Amino acid sequence: MPALRMPQARVLAWGLMPTPARIHVAHALHEVFGEGGRVPDIWDRDLGEDAHLAQALLGLCLRRWGRLQAWVKPQLKDPDRGVPLGTRVVLAMGLTQLAWLPGVSDHAAVNESVELAANRDLGFLPHKGLVNALLRRAAKDRATLAAELEALPAALDRSPAAERALRAALAPHQAEAEIEALWSRLQQVPRPDFRLLKGEAPAGLRPEADLPGCLCLEEGAPFPRPWLESAGGMVQDRSSQALLAYAWDRPVPRILDACAAPGGKTTTLALRHPGAAITALEVHPRRAARLRQSLLQRGIEAQVIQADAAEWLEGSEAAFDLILLDAPCSGSGTLQKHPEWPWLKHEDLPRLTGLQRRLLGAAADRLAPGGLLIYAVCSWLPEEGDSHRAWLEQARPDLRPAEVWPAALGPAEGAVGEATARFRPHPLRWAGEGFQGFAVRRAGS
């Protein structure tokens, strides 16, 4: 665990106020566990240096939530009585600091949690005494607390949605030892990958031997913000980079990126196929605006159209030589980067799979003779990928699998010699995000 610079607790006339970092974390935990909502991307924007503490604290609370709650339960007078969310949040935060953040003093971990417990929105005032007593006791032996928490089964931290995602990731074999190994990998804080766009990479970024253009952050190196802001490079997960390293040497003068924001893949497409006319669709106005801005900043030419891709494609006569459909999805493959994913409401899956199917059918109709269509989702769930592939195979006999990736990136049963038309890196042999996809081509000149 990196040493953390500790925020100063602000002592006001009426006592100790929790730092903004802790208040932000408590808000985020309420959003996730109360509403099933995501932690907003910019949740730690105004925290300055305390953002490190906030990120570490939130990440640990989300990743160890089940064990933290299981540890608390037997300590209660009436363990079967429901505990208000405010108490659970505050205790999880206090215990996490005591167990896993050695740079936080006992005093800060306990007293700020007690103050949070008294907060009307974030805590539960009647449990202020309980929080105080429990944390004070735990603070007496932090090493034992950590050992007791670590000794609880890791499976407690998995929601049913996470369990399903893991099993889908390892299907069809799903040996229990593999499930635990994958879960343990997904609990590590991920290191971002980058793609070089121009010039030289800054110090601290190491080229990835097997994936030209991919750079990884070396241990302890600072996050290369100035380089990203100067458009020298962009953050792009290695799975996205490998997906876009498809082998295809036919000319592709007309490219469609059907679901384009924030534009990482549009950028890569433009760099791979200089001179191609690129159309980039995005349904959400704000994301479309951000897409336009990023492309402009990177000097990428593309026609950005803010539209529902299904409607736009169904009403279009245009034909494309290369279509990328990086479809909206559950994001089950991103749960390492988004530790709140297991706890989100996942009730819109049928709507998403319906949309994916509609987008795929409409995109297939716009594929020019000889053209290539790549469908991808950052999800392991079969209904978001493999089922669509099987459907397309039946519904569109004019399309044929296109073996555009090295066989090692696909499932064993999908390989044709050294290549595969199915992109599905094995999660235990590939350190990138969980992705699945497939490529088809239309016969013709």
Ligand X SMILES: C[S@@+](CC[C@H](N)C(=O)[O-])C[C@H]1O[C@@H](n2cnc3c(N)ncnc32)[C@H](O)[C@@H]1O
Size of the site for ligand X (CB under 6 A): 18
Question: Which of 53, 131, 205, 261 contacts ligand X by CB under 6 A?
Answer: 261
Phi-psi region of 362 (alpha: psi -120 to 50; beta: other; left: phi over 0): alpha
- The reply to whether 157 sits near ligand X by the rule CB under 6 A is no
| Subset of residues 361 to 420 that bind ligand X, contact rule: CB under 6 A | none
Residue 181 contacts by C-beta under 8 Å, 6 or more apart in sequence?
Answer: 428
- The reply to whether 284 sits near ligand X by the rule CB under 6 A is yes
Nearer to ligand X, 115 or 282 (CB): 282
Using the contact rule CB under 6 A, the part of the chain among 104-112, 218-226, 295-303, 306-314 near ligand X is 306-314
Using the contact rule CB under 6 A, the part of the chain among 83-91, 261-269, 387-395, 421-429 near ligand X is 261-269
Question: Which of 169, 269, 283, 295 contacts ligand X by CB under 6 A?
Answer: 283
Nearer to ligand X, 117 or 281 (CB): 281
Nearer to ligand X, 86 or 425 (CB): 425
- The least CB distance from residue 298 to ligand X, in Å, is 12
Q: One of 214, 216, 329, 378 is an active-site residue; which one?
A: 378
- The reply to whether 278 sits near ligand X by the rule CB under 6 A is no
Nearer to ligand X, 266 or 420 (CB): 266
Residue 51 contacts by C-beta under 8 Å, 6 or more apart in sequence?
Answer: 21, 44
Euclidean distance between CA atoms 382 and 436, whole angstroms: 9
Peptide linkage before 262 cis (omega within 30 of 0): yes
**Residues 18, 19, 25, 31, Cα dihedral to 10°:** 60
Q: Residue type for 249, please?
A: D
Question: Which of 259, 295, 409, 440 contacts ligand X by CB under 6 A?
Answer: 259
- The least CB distance from residue 57 to ligand X, in Å, is 28
Question: Which of 37, 102, 262, 361 contacts ligand X by CB under 6 A?
Answer: 262
Q: Token digits for 85?
A: 């969310």
Based on the residue annotation, tell me whether 378 is a catalytic residue of this protein.
yes
- The reply to whether 213 sits near ligand X by the rule CB under 6 A is no
Q: Residue type for 121, please?
A: D
* Cα 111 from chain centre: 33
Binding mask 325-364 for ligand X (x = CB under 6 A): -x-x------------------------------------
- The least CB distance from residue 7 to ligand X, in Å, is 34
| Subset of residues 217 to 236 that bind ligand X, contact rule: CB under 6 A | none
Nearest to 30 by CA among 73, 85, 68: 85
Peptide linkage before 84 cis (omega within 30 of 0): no
Tally DSSP H helices, then E strands, for the chain.
16, 17
Residue 78 main-chain phi, psi, to 5 deg: -125, 85
Q: Token digits for 401?
A: 């699998």
Nearer to ligand X, 52 or 265 (CB): 265
Please say whether the beta carbons of 380 and 330 come within 8 A.
no
Euclidean distance between CA atoms 438 and 372, whole angstroms: 10
Please say whether the beta carbons of 202 and 221 come within 8 A.
no
Return the active site residues: 378
By CB under 6 A, name the binding residues for ligand X.
240, 259-265, 281-284, 287, 308-310, 326, 328
